[in-house]
Structure 1
Amino acid sequence: MDLHLLNIFHTVAKSGSISQAAKELQYAQSNITMKIQQLEKNLQTTLFYRHNRGITLTDKGSMLLTYTEKIMDLIEETKAAVNDDQTPGGSLVIGSMETTAAVRLPTYLSAFHETFPKVDLTLKTGSTEQNVQGVLQHEMDGAFVAEPIEHPALTQKEVFEEQMVLITDTKHPDISSIKDIQTRTVLVFRTGCAYREKLEHWLHQEGIVPRKIMELGTMEAIIGCVSAGLGLSMLPLSVVSKHIQNGSLKQHPIPHPYEKVRTVFIYRNDRYIPASLNQFINMFCDETIQKTF
């Protein structure tokens, strides 16, 4: 199959417009149309529906797009493997939960950058769900996420175990039972956050429906609002320990089995692992590095 035709098809499919694809590829629209017709003839199927608003993929077109993206990923992986001289370098994109990035990773990332300055390391933060999808879609080389992760294409290595605590403002009375919080507002990250899922599972198991669940976008926002008395939240002790020590937050224990959350590093097991990612994995699993945490 002609890779050039597949590249044109991919550009048209992703842009949703022959005219836009022509601009991106710097081809005449008539040339793009001819190439798509040639590909359809070769495959003996219709790949796009043509209508007044542009074009839409057919079922066969959607299927071809899936395979085309796999082929393009494999080509890029092949190039990387052939050109890899086992000297860490080039781009390395790592995903992480915001809490892990803020508390656990800075010292480690600094050590990695100092050891491998030729690696262009990028850190992207997001929920566990976003990071898993980022790795699966080849947008990230690996990511720090919360267990459990079950996917046949992913390998995971346990790196941290977080002690979870309930946090409130300092005037809040002691919480002796989960039922004590059902009249309070619960502050959480957006859907996809593993800590939120853990808390919601705990509440569901106990048959508790909080008065209100309020979504906030950042860890700083949650901590600030809890400190001001807006509500309570559940976060890793490592994230809030300084705030507890300086007297701006109060912590409350969480019973088993909700008090622990394991953080794992995930990466695809069906693709070539470049030297940069291999060294990254080796370094954060190194006992000498772990001691810095």
Structure 2
Amino acid sequence: MDSNLLKVFVAVAKQKSISLAAQTLGFTQSNVTLRIKQLEKTLGYDLFHRVPKGVILTEAGVTLLPMAEEIVQKVENAIIQMKNSTHQRLLRIGTSQANATIRLLPFIEKLQQDFPDIHFELYANGTPLVLEQLLNYKLDIAFITGDPEHKDIMVLNQFDDDLYMIEPKNRAYPNTLIGYREKSTHFDFLKAYEEAEGNTHYKTMILENYEVMLGCVKAGMGKAYLSKKIIDKFGYEKSLKLTKLPQNACDVTCLVCRKDNVPFIAEYLKALS
């Protein structure tokens, strides 16, 4: 069975639309339709029902999807591994948003200087989603908040972070917790800390911009939990109340990889400071 046909099938299943899948894949809509028909002919089953807003999987399509996703992923991983078989040609880097702000650019600049032949791809999101991408072989290395303590993950390096709960200075403010993302290790810790202190009726505010978060705290809109480096970077260290919370997993950033997908430059990464 042609894995390229399965790749098209997976794209259509995820997008629930032939036209959207065609855009994602860079194919024409007629090309995608043809490939789906080829796959259906090979299998002897219809894989999609047409509906007014696109397509939905048939029972046979539902059965095929997880197997197709696994095959497509393994083929993509094999291609990347073969490209990297003698030396690192591609390094896919994941990072939590806080680490992207604090240390990613200097890290990339140093890598580019020391390894000019490596092509880099970046992915930034909350730590839970970055870990998910790493475990699914979508990333080679990742900066994450805390030690994952996962059986399939190797810690290559570790960096200390200095985090504080930040509040407005000398003014009352509503019971609102401000986070960068809903799925964020820092935000999860702040919510857990507040609940342990008996604060269970707070509201939340998500602002995907650290400077805006800091400005909102200063304006008296709530409290947040951020790295001192981010606070200093935007010049808010003297205009906010900073409180050091009990030591926790958020105080450490780990550079990690999968144990079965260790990059060629692992020793170099372990020596970074």
Which bracket does the TM-score occupy, shorter chain normalised? 0.7 to 0.9
**Equivalent residue number for residue 55 of structure 1:** 55
State the SS of the aligned residue for 1:100.
helix
Q: 1:33 to 1:208 in 2, by over 3 A?
A: closer
**Equivalent residue number for residue 264 of structure 2:** 278
State the shift of 1:263 in Å.
1.7
Q: Any conservation in 2 of the 1:96–1:143 contact (CA below 8 Å)?
A: yes
State the SS of the aligned residue for 1:159.
strand
Q: Distance in 1 between matches of 2:79 and 2:28?
A: 22
| 1:202 is aligned to 2:156 | no
State the SS of the aligned residue for 1:209.
coil
Q: 1:6 to 1:85 in 2, by over 3 A?
A: closer
Amino acid in the other structure paired with 2:77: E
| 1:118 is aligned to 2:117 | yes
Aligned with residue 220 of structure 1, among 190, 207, 211? 211
Unaligned 5+ runs, structure 1: 173-180
1:11-26 matched pairs, under 5 angstroms: 11-17=11-17, 24=27
Q: Distance in 2 between matches of 1:260 and 1:22?
A: 41
Q: CA RMSD in A?
A: 3.4
**Equivalent residue number for residue 78 of structure 2:** 78
How big is each residue's C-alpha offset from its partner over 1:44-100, in whole Å with a ceiling of 9 and x where there is no partner? x5533355655321344234222222222222332333343533323x231212221
State the shift of 1:240 in Å.
2.2
Taking structure 1 as the reference length, what is the TM-score of the superposition?
Answer: 0.75
Q: Distance in 2 between matches of 1:188 and 1:105?
A: 20
**Equivalent residue number for residue 262 of structure 1:** 252
Taking structure 2 as the reference length, what is the TM-score of the superposition?
Answer: 0.79
Q: Any conservation in 2 of the 1:10–1:65 contact (CA below 8 Å)?
A: yes
Amino acid in the other structure paired with 2:166: I
- The count of corresponding residues between Structure 1 and Structure 2 is 270
| 1:93 is aligned to 2:78 | no
Identity %, equivalent residues: 25
1:173-188 matched pairs, under 5 angstroms: 184-188=175-179
Amino acid in the other structure paired with 2:109: S
Q: Distance in 1 between matches of 2:33 and 2:111?
A: 50
| 1:251 is aligned to 2:242 | yes
Q: Any conservation in 1 of the 2:207–2:213 contact (CA below 8 Å)?
A: yes
